[in-house]
């Protein structure tokens, strides 16, 4: 069985080493050093990782992340490349489920911050693997969006979300939809069909978890 989480991790680490610690990412204000520190905290600091999604813990998580980011670059990236076996999100039982989407998105965060980037031709298996988390992101991120919104990944599936109202359609490959729905609309190659005003609202909505 292909290990897409591992291959995306390795590709991201190789790219970060090639670009260095000060390269930009799609995440505004974050360099590759900041991103690497985020990944280390997520996998190795369960006391702080909750702050990634829980607002009351974000201050503590950010302080921990900044301390981690101060490590030497080669050491920091090495920690990303070699996750601990005890990590709740990166052990052999959870790695593929917990990290395929995570490392795909962050790999693209670095790739798409560079001038002249182009979408990758992803393996069919990876596209299929990304559809389920992309559909879950759609349900979570768009459940209150004021439209009858149809999300389609041709060849993989579709779902309807939103609070109802005017019809809107969001179409793309699973990977592009995942990027769009995680708040990276400006770099995601998707198609939005519907009224111009509602489509623009979707393209600039605060999405992600």
Question: pLDDT tens for residues 68-111?
Answer: 999 999 999 999 999 999 999 999 999 999 999 999 999 999 99
How much is the pTM?
Answer: 0.94
Give the list of residues 6+ apart from residue 116 with CB closer than 8 angstroms, or none: none
CA distance 34 to 68: 9
First to last CA, the chain: 29
Cα–chain center distance at 200: 22
pLDDT at 1: 63
Which distant-in-sequence residues (6+ apart) come within 8 Å of 16 by Cβ?
23, 32, 35, 36, 77, 80, 110
In the sheet with 191-193, reading across from the earlier edge strand, the strands are 157-161, 148-153, 167-171, 191-193
Residue 56 is predicted with a pLDDT of 79
Is the model's pLDDT at 129 over the cut of 90? yes
**167 within 8 A of 147, measured Cβ to Cβ:** yes
How confident is the model over 167-192, as pLDDT tens digits? 999 999 999 999 999 999 999 999 99
- Residue identified by tokens 């992600």 is 208
Q: Summarize pLDDT for 16-55 with one digit per residue, the tens.
A: 999 999 999 999 899 999 999 999 999 999 887 776 777 8
Task: Tell me which residue of 165, 43, 17, 164 sits closest to 99, measured CA to CA.
Answer: 43
Chain segment 142-153, per-residue pLDDT in tens: 999 999 999 999
């Amino acid at each position: 069985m292909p290990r897409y989480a591992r291959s995306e991790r390795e590709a991201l680490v190789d790219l970060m080493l090639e670009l260095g610690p000060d390269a930009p990412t799609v995440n505004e204000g974050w360099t590759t050093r900041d991103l690497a520190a985020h990944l280390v905290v997520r996998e190795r600091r369960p006391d702080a990782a909750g702050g990634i999604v829980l607002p009351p813990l974000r201050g503590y998580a950010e302080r921990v992340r900044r301390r981690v980011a101060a490590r030497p670059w080669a050491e920091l990236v090495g920690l990303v490349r070699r996750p601990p076996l005890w990590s709740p999100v990166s052990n052999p039982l959870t790695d593929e489920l917990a990290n395929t989407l995570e490392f795909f998105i962050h790999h693209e965060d670095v790739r798409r911050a560079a001038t002249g980037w182009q979408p990758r031709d992803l393996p069919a298996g990876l596209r299929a693997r990304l559809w389920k988390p992309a559909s879950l992101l759609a349900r979570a991120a768009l459940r209150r969006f004021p439209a009858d919104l149809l999300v389609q990944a041709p060849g993989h599936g579709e779902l309807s979300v939103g609070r109802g109202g005017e019809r809107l359609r969001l179409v793309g490959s699973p990977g592009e939809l995942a990027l769009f729905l995680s708040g990276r609309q400006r770099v995601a190659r998707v198609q939005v069909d519907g009224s111009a005003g509602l489509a623009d609202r979707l393209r600039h909505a605060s999405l992600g978890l």
